[in-house]
Amino acid sequence: MYIYVEKSGIISIDINNNDSYRKGLINIMIKLVGLIILTIVVLYFILIMPRLFNRPDYRPFYGYYYAHRGFHDMASQQKCPENSYSAIKKAVERGYGIEFDVHLTKDNVPVVFHDDNLKRICGVDADLRDFTYDELKRFRLLDTDERIPLFKDVLELVDGKVPLIIEYKVEKGNADTLCSICNEMLLKYNGLYCIESFHPMAVRWYRKHRPDIVRGQLSEDFTREKMTLPYFLLAHLIGNCYAMPDFVSYNCRHRKELSRTLCRKLYRCLSVAWTVRSQKELDEIASDFDLYIFEGFTPAKG
């Protein structure tokens, strides 16, 4: 807006100049907001980016259904607990790939077990990491005669007969230790396997030290339950660029999550479903994933 004081003392206001200034300011603000939005969008696409170049060959993993923690079944007469020798053996006998979990004990021995705490499976309200392997031997799985398996014994049992999806359970910053110890054992293993973890540091370890091994980022829509920043970022795969996973393993009930969908359709990233619990569910999600981790039923062939 411009104000003029004439010699006669009359004050005049140039309204047209004021409108022009306002329109110019609005245009600048629109362009600035547009630039900010574009920057955020580009940054988002960079942050969720999986590995794009020099990817390992995925093809050997196709053609299998993957038994979640082995082919376990506690409802049958011959009870077979999850992540047990018998569950692993049954999966191998049926020709299924196997997904199982690996923890470190207090004395850094890798064992096959899912929970951080022993209560649900062993009836003891204590954390697995607070026991040495020798101390864990006295516990049984779900009131059976089965003990917590050693990772190396499970590898020997499978012996390369079926592919493995190995989930690393990282606790209290032990990603480097866990990955290093397990990798030493896997160097001697001749079978097909890949690794996955909820913790990006474990996936990152494989990016840095074993780029030849297929690695995966586990996730689900945590934001429905936990709105903390780390869970929000993990739920939406914001940080993929740090670990550069080869596949995303996502809760199949949350298959419509945008970042997961973009990773599969835009970046052509391998997509793994967990955990499918019925044939009906498997049929419903089949077109949204490439590999399937199942539990509690026998998938139809074909």
What letter represents residue 168's amino acid?
Y
Task: List the one residue out of 58, 81, 55, 57 whose CA is nearest residue 70.
Answer: 81
Cα separation, 203 vs 212, in Å, equals 13
Average pLDDT for runs of 10 along the chain of length 302: 51 59 86 94 97 95 98 91 98 98 98 98 98 98 97 98 98 96 98 98 98 98 80 94 98 97 98 98 98 97 72
| Residue 151, burial from CB neighbour count under 10 angstroms (0-12, 13-18, 19+) | buried
Instruction: Quote the pLDDT of residue 4.
Output: 46
Supply the DSSP symbol for 71: S
Supply angle C-alpha 50, 151, 86, rounded to 5.
110
Instruction: Quote the pLDDT of residue 273.
Output: 98
Instruction: Count CB neighbours of 279 within 10 A.
Output: 13
Residue 179 has phi, psi (to 5 degrees) of -65, -40
Residue 293 has phi, psi (to 5 degrees) of -100, 125
* 58-294: CATH number: 3.20.20.190
**Looking at the chain, which residues constitute the CATH 3.20.20.190 domain(s)?**
58-294
Task: List the one residue out of 205, 46, 11 whose CA is nearest residue 1.
Answer: 11
Supply the DSSP symbol for 116: S
Cα separation, 39 vs 42, in Å, equals 5
pTM summary value: 0.91
Instruction: Quote the pLDDT of residue 3.
Output: 47
